[in-house]
Homo-oligomer: A and B are copies of this chain.
Amino acid sequence: MIEELLKKSSLKNTKQRHIILSVIESAKEPITAEEIFKTLVMDDHKINLSTVYRTLHVLTEKNVLLKILKGDGTASYELNELSHSHYITCSKCNNSILIENCPLKDLNESISRKTGFKVTGHSLQFTGICAECLKKQKNKNKEE
């Protein structure tokens, strides 16, 4: 399975790439380079952080992975599958929760037509204020 992904992308099937991909695959959410690296260390795999970054970079370029940008500008990665979800992040406390179902399915063709790009994925985050911070804000207003 992972071998096929690599072959399809004309990348060499190295032990490091295999392990990194399997970590991403078994993560339930988009995962950062640092998180992948920590997982590797925990599992006693001695793979350099640069290798993690380089692997993420080529695999994103080959569209095997999708790069997901969090609100703070750091990148997470997930397998580029058809069905996926998005997150909403609180601009006060940075807490973020999952939004199920992607609202953008069936949009690729029209974007393709407009831009000339072959659309291979997208990254979407919502920003808002979470229920808890809204409550705090209201209480604060009352005090004044």
Residues of A near any B CB (own CB < 8 A): 60-61, 63, 66-67, 69, 71, 73-75, 88, 90-92, 97, 99-100, 103-104, 107, 111-112, 114-131, 134
Is B127 a contact of A122 with CB atoms below 8 Å?
Answer: yes
Residues in B with CB closer than 8 Å to A117 are 88, 90, 97, 126, 128-131
Write the nearest CB–CB distance from A110 to chain B, whole angstroms.
Answer: 9
Residues in B with CB closer than 8 Å to A119 are 88, 126-128
Q: What are 11 A-B residue pairs whose CB atoms fall within 8 Å in the complex?
A: A67-B127, A69-B69, A88-B111, A103-B107, A115-B128, A117-B129, A118-B134, A123-B123, A123-B124, A124-B124, A124-B125
Given contacts A69-B69, A91-B61, contact A97 B115 (CB under 8 A): yes
